Amino acid sequence: MDGVNPLYIQVHARDNVGIVVNPEGLEAGAVFPSGLILRERTPQSHKVALAAIEAGEPVVRYGEVIGRASRAIAPGSWVREDSIDLPVAPALNELPLATAVPAPPEPLEGYTFDGFRNADGSVGTRNILGIGTTVQCVAPTVEYAARRIREELLPRFPNVDDVVAITHTYGCGVAIDAPGAVVPVQTLKHISLHANTGGAPLVVSLGCEKLQPARLLPGLALQRVGAAALPVLSSDPYVVKLQDEDFRGFQQIVAAILRAAERRLEELNRRRRVPCPASELNVGLQCGGSDAFSGVTCNPAVGYAADLLVRAGATVMFSEVTEVRDAVHLLTPRAVNEDVGRALIREMRWYDEYLARGSADRSANPTPGNKRGGLSNVVEKALGSVAKAGTTALRHVATHGEKVSVKGLVFAATPASDFICGTQQLASMNLHVFTTGEGSPYGLALVPVIKVSSRTALAERWPDLIDIDAGTVATGRETIADVGWRMFHLMLDVASGRKRTWTEQWGLHNALAPFNPGPVT
Ligand code: CA
């Protein structure tokens, strides 16, 4: 063990476990500065018992009980998943509501970014031609057309960043009138009108699908694009219907999409970035591939940046119901009023019932990678996950599929699945922050995704995928505040287009995955 200084992180004074910091892990016999001697080899980011824990006694991390010891644990032992019994989730009918509402934070003034102002009041961080779709059947056609547009048309419109086929797996073969259908339909509607696409949509439909264009975009005057000349120029949506009797063959269909796209590109190319207050940011926060460091490095740093955004008047959304469920007792007291607290409980209860219908429960959450990274169960994962929410009052709870416009800290209910959560947050956000411990090359086509690593080892292994290394918090090279400020400034630079994220650089775009709690037919 020459040259190795054994270190663990204890988050809270009450904790009876700490996590190993050393990148290679530590061998039996390693002596920590506290005098604690490690009894067995323990990998990095895994837990070591700081004191004797008798069978049935609580295992405490973050100052909270993450479970009870399934057997006696001696000091210096590796505390594995099977040494901890999963406790029952906090009961939803006896939670304190709005009992510890944080005072409004000191306003943070003077921070701006250069964004694209839209007619509907929203602000874009990118200038993208988005081609919406009503149904999966048209996806390959639209992807073919998008490739042609990118090659043949886009070079003439230098102010437009990209062309994106907004394809998905929804739209037909579903019970479209079932209550659950509202979620994917609303999500896809908001994405079709996304702030980064300038608000004047171009939508491609098949014709016979359940999700008709008028159902996707209700209340808007749809303009049919056939084989002949385009309809008059307006901001109403253009709709190309593949089964339109006007068309003779695939090439005529593609030509119609290209004609409509060219008109939209002319409009988008006239957009210019203008200084906008940081309050126009709507930032979606998410974690994926978390490890035991996530809750002490990247997620608290994101939480610090979230507080800065809230102080600047912006919207910050955190999500992932199953990763909030076991920390809900820490959040309901922070609800700005009892109604918001009750709304949070409503979303937790809905998801409990949803999981129960599928004969699953919250223990289905941690992945093998989470466990390899030292996260023993969903309670420990949740306590680390909610650190992203910072310290301000919870101002609003949005249900699945709702578009979020409230300023301040918002819980937007979504599943924890990265691509489903990202798709739902995309309905509202113009910037995305994604933390990871195990590593994920996740990216979205319509918004920039800033990737934050929990460990320096990951940032060094993936220097061209990770935008910010928060592992410096574990080694003491930076404080949580240092990383939080660095992240805040990077957000303004990325939102302004002055910097591109690594996933933008490589064009890594995960497929949209709308959450469909309704039946498939
Ligand atoms: Ca996730």
Q: How far is the CA of 125 from the centre of ligand 1 (A)?
A: 23
In this structure, are residues 293 and 301 in contact, taking their beta carbons and an 8 Å threshold? no
Q: How far is the CA of 130 from the centre of ligand 1 (A)?
A: 25
pLDDT for 200 equals 75
Q: How far is the CA of 128 from the centre of ligand 1 (A)?
A: 25
Q: How far is the CA of 512 from the centre of ligand 1 (A)?
A: 14
88 strand-pairing partners: none
Using the predicted structure, report yes or no on whether residue 2 has a pLDDT greater than 70: no
Q: How confident is the model at residue 108 (pLDDT cuts 50, 70, 90)?
A: very high
Q: How far is the CA of 438 from the centre of ligand 1 (A)?
A: 12
Q: How confident is the model at residue 181 (pLDDT cuts 50, 70, 90)?
A: very high
For residue 208, is it left (φ>0), alpha (ψ between -120 and 50) or beta?
A: alpha
Q: How far is the CA of 63 from the centre of ligand 1 (A)?
A: 24
Q: How far is the CA of 385 from the centre of ligand 1 (A)?
A: 9
C-alpha to C-alpha distance for 447 and 434, rounded to whole angstroms: 12
Q: 128 Cβ partners below 8 Å, 6+ apart? A: 160, 161, 162, 163, 164, 196, 197, 198, 268, 445, 446
Q: Tell me the average pLDDT across 152-162.
A: 97
Angle between helices 480-495 and 298-311 (to 10 degrees): 60
Q: How confident is the model at residue 85 (pLDDT cuts 50, 70, 90)?
A: very high
Q: Tell me the average pLDDT across 332-345.
A: 98
C-alpha to C-alpha distance for 215 and 490, rounded to whole angstroms: 38
Using the predicted structure, report yes or no on whether residue 135 has a pLDDT greater than 60: yes
Q: Tell me the average pLDDT across 448-464.
A: 96
**Edge-to-edge strand order for the sheet containing 394-398?**
394-398, 408-412, 315-318, 282-287, 431-436, 449-453, 468-469
pLDDT for 196 equals 98
Q: Tell me the average pLDDT across 200-210.
A: 94
Q: How far is the CA of 41 from the centre of ligand 1 (A)?
A: 30
Of the listed ranges 232-246, 294-308, 451-465, the one predicted with least confidence: 232-246
Q: How confident is the model at residue 3 (pLDDT cuts 50, 70, 90)?
A: low
Q: How far is the CA of 32 from the centre of ligand 1 (A)?
A: 34
C-alpha to C-alpha distance for 438 and 373, rounded to whole angstroms: 7
In this structure, are residues 161 and 494 in contact, taking their beta carbons and an 8 Å threshold? no
Q: How far is the CA of 322 from the centre of ligand 1 (A)?
A: 10
Q: How many other C-beta atoms can be found within 10 angstroms of the C-beta atom of residue 498? A: 12
Chain segment 321-334, per-residue pLDDT in tens: 999 999 999 999 99
Q: How confident is the model at residue 98 (pLDDT cuts 50, 70, 90)?
A: very high
Tell the residue number behind the tokens 């059947």, with chain if given: 137
Q: How far is the CA of 375 from the centre of ligand 1 (A)?
A: 15
Q: How far is the CA of 269 from the centre of ligand 1 (A)?
A: 35
275 strand-pairing partners: 114
pLDDT for 365 equals 76
Using the predicted structure, report yes or no on whether residue 1 has a pLDDT greater than 60: no
Those residues whose beta carbon sits under 5 angstroms from the ion ligand 1 are: 286, 288, 416, 418
Select from 266, 297, 258 the least CA-distant residue to 479: 297
% of the chain beyond a pLDDT of 70: 98
Tell the residue number behind the tokens 């009023």, with chain if given: 337
Q: How far is the CA of 221 from the centre of ligand 1 (A)?
A: 37
Q: How far is the CA of 414 from the centre of ligand 1 (A)?
A: 9
Q: How far is the CA of 266 from the centre of ligand 1 (A)?
A: 37
Q: 180 Cβ partners below 8 Å, 6+ apart? A: 516, 517, 518, 519
Q: How far is the CA of 81 from the centre of ligand 1 (A)?
A: 21
Q: How far is the CA of 435 from the centre of ligand 1 (A)?
A: 9
What's the pTM? Answer: 0.94
Q: How far is the CA of 411 from the centre of ligand 1 (A)?
A: 14
Q: How far is the CA of 321 from the centre of ligand 1 (A)?
A: 10
* Average pLDDT value over all residues in the chain: 95
48 strand-pairing partners: 18, 78
pLDDT for 130 equals 97
HSE (side-chain half, CA atoms, 13 Å) at 494: 25
Q: Which string of DSSP letters, residue by residue, matches 138-175?
A: GHHHHHHHHHHHHHHTGGG-TT--EEEEE--S-SSSB-
Q: How far is the CA of 349 from the centre of ligand 1 (A)?
A: 19
C-alpha to C-alpha distance for 340 and 396, rounded to whole angstroms: 6
128 strand-pairing partners: 162
Q: How far is the CA of 178 from the centre of ligand 1 (A)?
A: 27
Q: How far is the CA of 421 from the centre of ligand 1 (A)?
A: 6
Q: How far is the CA of 29 from the centre of ligand 1 (A)?
A: 37
Q: How far is the CA of 406 from the centre of ligand 1 (A)?
A: 22
Q: How far is the CA of 320 from the centre of ligand 1 (A)?
A: 6
